Amino acid sequence: MTRLFDTLSIKSMNLKNRLVLPPMRCGKAGSNGEVTDDLIQHYLNLSDGPGLVIIEHTYIADGGRSQGQLGISHDQHISGLSKLTNAIHSKGVPTVLQINHVGSMAVSKVIGAQPVGPSAIVNPRNADKEMPKAMTKTEIEEVVQAFVQASIRAVKAGFDGVEVHCAHGYLNSEYMSPLANIRQDEYGGSPENRIRLATESVKAIRKVVDKDYPVFCRFGARDCLPSGLELPESSVMAGLLVNAGVDVLDVSGGMGGIEPLGEKPQGFFVPEAEALRKATGATVIGVGGIIDPNFADEAISKGRVDLIAIGRGMLKDPTWCKNALATLAIKS
């Protein structure tokens, strides 16, 4: 029986346990997206205990950024990111970089241009309620190449893997959602078309990284909004992403954000992760307000998920993972 404290190998990456620090924006990046000493210290404080650290969403293009976000859009970002990976590796923990284009979540006063999206539909999570410009096919191709270049930079900076962001109402999530994508071309309509930007990006990334280099996907399994994306369609999309080269599905919410509406039981996205694990055969990360080590261990031992992400619990108590593993070791 597999337990929370057991090791796991994902291609070239070896994890000492099944606990993950999920990507959570800390607001400590510099004004040009650079790594700061405060940001490095933040991650050092959280790197004692988990088997894997995933770094917060990092913009791949200057036109796809938000205020105070970490950047990987230029080679000048590599040196600072290398300092970050070296610091985390000093704790004996591998680290993955989440790469992202925020799409219509951007605001013009930050990017100096009109935000873009799959269609001219206001993003419900955009506080400024700006109308985005529907992307041209040339702009779509540019985004794919931006994901590729960001992945190349991530490898140079020493990250052990990359995570393509397809959740939380950002660009890939918008393309996936019927709430934001009403395109009539090959990037709209069917689930196969609405996931095309993401699958093209993953396929292109796989061509420039080593075959044993892990590629993750932060995946919005359902929009958590009325008439939005639901599991039947997202299961098809997840399968196409795995076929394109995704190794790990980091399962979360879509256009509605990081948590569902209404009641939020512990592990609120674990059922979706379990369903996608069965549907695709991929390694999956379960998440959702998990605070009980026994719940986390049981989700692993019952084969519902392969990894458990602890976000708020780690922010509140950086020793959560160490304490949880010690508690479980005593009980076993």
d(CA 35, CA 172): 25
The three-class DSSP label of residue 312 is helix
**Angle, alpha carbons 40-46-50 (nearest 5°):** 130
- Residue 266 contacts residue 291 (beta carbons within 8 Å): yes
Catalytic residue among 170, 175, 187, 213: 170
Tokens describing residue 52: 């894997």
Query: Two tokens at 54?
Result: 């995933």
* Gap between the terminal Cα atoms of the chain: 12
Instruction: List, in sequence order, every residue forming a beta bridge with 215; answer none if it has no partner.
Output: 162
Cα–Cα separations (whole angstroms), residue 213 to 36, 63, 81, 158, 326: 27, 28, 18, 12, 31
* Residues contacting 150, CB < 8 A, separation 6+: 58, 60, 72, 73, 99, 162
- What distance in Å separates the CA atoms of residue 181 and residue 204, rounded to the nearest whole number? 23
170 catalytically annotated: yes
Query: What amino acid positions are annotated as catalytic residues?
Result: 170
